[in-house]
Amino acid sequence: MSSQTAKLKVDPRDGKLAMAHFYVAFIALALGGLMGLLQTLVRSGKFELPWGIDYYQILTVHGVLMGLVLTTFFIMGFQYAAVSRTAGTHSPAARRIGWIGFWVMTVGTIMAATMVLLKEASVLYTFYAPLKAHWIFYLGMTFVVVGSWLDGAAQIMTYAKWRKENPGKPSPLLSFMAVINTVLWIVATLGVASTVLFQLLPWSLGLVDTVDVLISRTLFWYFGHPLVYFWLLPAYMCWYAIVPKIIGGKIFSDSLARLSFILFLLFSIPVGFHHQLMEPGIDPAWKFLQVVLTFMVIIPSLMTAFSLFATFERFGRSKGATGLFGWFKVLPWNDARFTVPFIGMASFIPAGAGGIINASNQMNQVVHNTIWVTGHFHLTAATSVVLTFFGISYWLVPHLTGRKLTKAMNKLGIIQGWVWFIGMVFMSGAMHFQGLLGGPRRSAFSTYGDAAQAAEWIPYQIAQAVGGSILFLGIILMIIIFVNLAFFAPKGEEEFPVGEAENLEEKAPMIFENWKLWLGITAALILFAYTIPFIDMIQNAPPGSPGFKTWNSW
Amino acid sequence: MHMHKFEKIWLIFGIGALVVFLSVVGVSAFYLGNKPPSCLTTIDPKKVDTEAPFDKPGLNKVEGKEWDYELVYVASAFFYNPGEVEVPLGAKVKVIATTKDVVHGFQVAGTNINMMLEPGYVNEIVTTFDKEGEYLVVCNEYCGTGHHLMSSKIKVVK
Amino acid sequence: MAKAELKSNKKTEIEDSSSLKGTLASVFFLGIFIVVTWVSVYFLFLDRF
């Protein structure tokens, strides 16, 4: 009985599944955060890991838990709830598929985590063939991906049902955005699924002797960049469609929000070469082509920046604010549901600027694989995205558990946001500067034989440890708030805010819901950007690589 | 679909800036020769030690080429060969490198020499060593337990 | 009829513009930040060998 006007509350049966995702996500946050803290302490040179634990082992745990587990579980839980709220309660069939997806992902996570803990898979979450992990690690990662497809299928089913029941009408904005992100995810994960299923699994099982490294990397990075947009788009969903309601304003333009999401779908995939700009075996012309496509994906973010400022300014002026920036002061700074995602938005300014530098073809030589890049994605993923996820949790978790965000927790949430911000200024800031000096990423503490240049990096590494410690405090605060909202906060009703467009007469053009068209263009762009380089790689392939295990076992 | 006038102005500025960025790096890459390292030569990773130029790692003077020297590196977990070289100040050098085992990241800290080494592929970059000093070569791509110990040294001397 | 429409359109344009000047200033601040950081790193690239 999904009526035309969606329910104001997520059905408790859907809420239960969303919460299941959040439990896993926040456990991942706690453990992954501890690993992050340890990494920064090791890199400061003042601390060594006990009991034979290896730096690269905890680095793998941190990357897998934060980059894959926390993000995927949170996003799927959030989108599942957002679709239920705006397109109507999921059908029993969709819910069953969602649950199967959840369990498949969870089992996959446990499989991969076990292998990492046994030191059978210190290959980082980016795989790095010809480093060869245990096959159970690869199979576990496959389960995570396949599980997420099932989770996504549940959202698509409910969206399709809404469309069928409401012919000729644009779908609810949040549902539309969730489905775009799910489709983006499915198209992107085809790459990582291909390298795992056709290359890494048969190779780690001993069915084939060698692996083609460049093809494996290319398939991985075909997935690796849309992966970061898969993290970002749920944050954009919150900024475009939820924050306006929280502050009491309106969505600046429903149609432009949809247009920007379509542009993300089209342009975030055929751009993986900008992660491979320094690699041999790929023609520079094809690299540059993908750099141009990468720059196309900046445009929807430029649109987003304008829309968000416009929402804020319109709201401020409606409250009587005057002058050029008077509207800024009247925003609800004492509301964690706004302030915390706002810190995330503001962080996206330096994050985006750094990203443009990374993607600028040969300029990548200055920063490639330096710790600048780590600093960059700790602004994008670990600040913009994660703080927005925290901001979402502050109302979504109590909404789903039938509790209230109390004043005390709201205040703690705001403190958490600022603690995070300060920690990140130290950590990410120091990483950016150290990176410009040439300090490498993914490296344990080293004086490089007392090299003068390496000595210059150490103060920055100490600053990172200070930042990392502050951030870990932020994680503790977040876990306290989450546990409170999930189990202890007073019973009550917490709103699931869904924004309304400023101009309700302006209906979104139906062409936005024409999936054949957008999937067609997406496929065409992918084929255009990848077909010829891929054929080149296969035709000119060197002898394959046997597997290596260059890390210590227990 | 309506777009506000200011948003149009903003997008024209923003897209204009992106076009300028792309033009600057595009011209620099394809007309001034600053393409990112993208060598297309392949090699059998098992035969690296016996194949030219990797049978003679180190700085080798060459004649009749656009560059004066070839600086050849062989990477393997967790070593660079050579471990230390001296390069004359102002020399135009083609840095050529490959790996015998896993993926490594060849980076001369504080310079633009930064390239991936992948088994089966040679990578190279041409540059003029025009600043005196001692430069640390690191591995910037995770390659195993000793990744952070993998290094070499380049002295640019008068 | 057409004339009246034109007139009303023009009127809303002016009101629109005046009420989003803070937005325009904000995005231009952002744009200039992007340009300045990009140019700085580009000069670093040019300066290094």
Residue A322: how many CB atoms within 10 A of its CB? 10
Which subunits have 3 or more CB–CB pairs within 8 Å of chain B? A, C
Q: Is A376 part of the annotated catalytic residue set? A: yes
In a domain, A8, yes or no: no
Q: What is the mean pLDDT of residues C8-33?
A: 73
Q: What is the mean pLDDT of residues B50-63?
A: 94
Q: How many CB pairs under 8 A join A and B?
A: 241
In this predicted structure, the answer to whether residue A232 has a pLDDT above a threshold of 50 is: yes
Structural domain boundaries, residue A182: 13-504+514-539
Q: Is A441 part of the annotated catalytic residue set? A: yes
In a domain, A216, yes or no: yes
pLDDT band at A7 (very low <50, low <70, confident <90, very high): low
In this complex, do A440 and B138 lie within 8 Å of one another by their Cβ atoms? yes
Which subunits have 3 or more CB–CB pairs within 8 Å of chain C? A, B
Q: Compute the Cα dihedral for B58, B61, B66, B67 and give only its sign.
A: positive
In a domain, A235, yes or no: yes
In this predicted structure, the answer to whether residue A190 has a pLDDT above a threshold of 70 is: yes
In a domain, C13, yes or no: no
pLDDT band at B149 (very low <50, low <70, confident <90, very high): very high
In this predicted structure, the answer to whether residue C10 has a pLDDT above a threshold of 90 is: no
In this predicted structure, the answer to whether residue A508 has a pLDDT above a threshold of 90 is: no
In this predicted structure, the answer to whether residue C13 has a pLDDT above a threshold of 50 is: no
The DSSP annotation for A328-376 comes to HHTS-TT-HHHHHHHHHHHHHHHHHHHHHHHTSGGGHHHHTTBHHHHHH
pLDDT digits (tens, 9 = 90+) for B124-133: 999 999 999 9
Q: What is the mean pLDDT of residues A99-104?
A: 97
Give the dihedral of Cα atoms A521, A527, A530, A535; nearest 10 deg.
Answer: 180
pLDDT band at A50 (very low <50, low <70, confident <90, very high): confident
CATH code of the domain in which A238 resides:
1.20.210.10
Closest-CA distance of chain A to residue B13, Å: 10
> Structural domain tally of chain A?
1
Query: Which residue of chain C has the CA closest to A309?
Result: C23
Q: Is A230 part of the annotated catalytic residue set? A: no
Q: What is the mean pLDDT of residues A239-259?
A: 93
pTM for this one? 0.93
> How confident is the model at residue B2, as a pLDDT?
81
What percentage of residues in chain A have a pLDDT greater than 90? 86
In this predicted structure, the answer to whether residue B40 has a pLDDT above a threshold of 70 is: yes
3 state SS of B59: strand
Tell me how far CA of residue A296 lies from CA of A70, A197, A257, A264, A272, in angstroms.
28, 31, 16, 9, 13
Q: Is A90 part of the annotated catalytic residue set? A: no
Residue B19's nearest CA partner among A366, A284, A525, A292 is A292
> How confident is the model at residue C3, as a pLDDT?
46
pLDDT digits (tens, 9 = 90+) for B28-37: 999 998 999 9
In this complex, do A357 and C19 lie within 8 Å of one another by their Cβ atoms? no
More confident residue, B15 or A506: B15
Superfamily for the B45-157 domain: Cupredoxins -  blue copper proteins (2.60.40.420)
Residue B93's nearest CA partner among B129, B140, B56 is B129
| Dist CA A269 CA A288 (whole Å) | 15
> Structural domain tally of chain C?
1
C25 vs A contacts (CB less than 8 Å): 324-325
Q: Is A399 part of the annotated catalytic residue set? A: no
Strand B122-128 and strand B92-99: pairing? antiparallel
| Dist CA A380 CA A295 (whole Å) | 17
A124 vs B contacts (CB less than 8 Å): 142
Residue A263's nearest CA partner among A302, A220, A218 is A302
In this predicted structure, the answer to whether residue A303 has a pLDDT above a threshold of 70 is: yes
Is C42 touching B (CB cutoff 8 A)? Answer: yes
In a domain, A552, yes or no: no
CB-closest option in A54, A280, A444 to B122 = A280
> How confident is the model at residue C8, as a pLDDT?
47
In a domain, C34, yes or no: yes
Is A278 touching B (CB cutoff 8 A)? Answer: yes
| Dist CA A368 CA A29 (whole Å) | 27
Q: What is the mean pLDDT of residues A22-28?
A: 96
pLDDT band at A392 (very low <50, low <70, confident <90, very high): very high
B15 vs A contacts (CB less than 8 Å): 299, 302
Domain ranges for chain B = 1-35, 45-157
In a domain, C42, yes or no: yes
φ/ψ of A131, rounded to 5, equals -65, 135
CB-closest option in C20, C22, C37 to A353 = C37
* Catalytic residue (choose from A21, A90, A95, A225): A225
The rounded mean pLDDT for chain A is: 93
Structure tokens, A279:
């690699």
| Dist CA A376 CA A427 (whole Å) | 11
Structural domain boundaries, residue C43: 25-49
Which subunits have 3 or more CB–CB pairs within 8 Å of chain A? B, C
In this complex, do C24 and B9 lie within 8 Å of one another by their Cβ atoms? yes
φ/ψ of B72, rounded to 5, equals -105, 130
Structure tokens, A303:
């649109």
Residue A303's nearest CA partner among C18, B7, B15 is B7
pLDDT digits (tens, 9 = 90+) for A450-472: 999 999 999 999 999 999 999 99
| Dist CA A66 CA A381 (whole Å) | 9
* Catalytic residue (choose from A368, A378, A399, A403): A378
> How confident is the model at residue A16, as a pLDDT?
94
Structure tokens, A367:
């920063």
In a domain, C7, yes or no: no
Interacting residues of A539 by C-beta distance below 8 A, sequence separation 6+: none
In a domain, A544, yes or no: no
